[in-house]
Amino acid sequence: MTSEGQSENSCPLCDFDDRNVIIADDDYVFAIISENPINPYHVLVVPKEHYESFNRLPDFLASHLFLLAKRLSAAVRQASQAHAITHLSDDGVSWGGFDLVPHYKLHIIPRFKGDGTPIVWHRQSNLGSLARTQFADAVRSALQRQARKE
């Protein structure tokens, strides 16, 4: 059963069955060692049901996924001896030509001093107070529209 109309047959995460790399598995979520890691021990936490967008996950599933990710992050950090962990998620990646599996997932990426990962922070240097305020206003407006719909 899919939630967004995509055929399960076309999604490698809906069909995933390599038990050797599954590190956690319950009724709603599973977690695997990434096939194409940014760093060793890179983990994907995946809802079993197909969702492309984070905001489409039922609340209980989003909570459940992040609570599992919290536990797994500690285990990954210990197992990998990482200096830190970066969390990223793929949300709605079928838009914009990203070459990623369009099934929502949360990445747990161990970080090591000098690991040279292509994750670049501070891409826009000093965004400025005016722009930040405009972005904050836009998000607050979206939250108010969202609250009116609920």
Say whether 125 sits in a helix, a strand or coil.
coil
Choose between 50 and 64: whose C-beta lies nearer to Zn ion.
50
State in angstroms the smallest separation of the CB of 81 from Zn ion.
Answer: 32
Between 42 and 103, whose beta carbon lies closer to Zn ion? 103
The number of C-alpha atoms within 13 Å of 110 and in the hemisphere containing its C-beta is: 20
Closest distance between Zn ion and the C-beta of residue 124, in Å? 33
Residue closest to Zn ion (Cβ): 11
The binding site for Zn ion (CB under 5 A) comprises 11, 13-14, 50, 103
Helices (H) and strands (E) in the chain, counts: 2, 5
Choose between 25 and 137: whose C-beta lies nearer to Zn ion. Answer: 25
Q: Least distance in Å: CB of 57 to Zn ion?
A: 13
3-state SS assignment for residue 119: coil
Is the distance from CB of 66 to CB of 54 less than 8 angstroms?
A: no
Structure tokens at 137: 């206003």
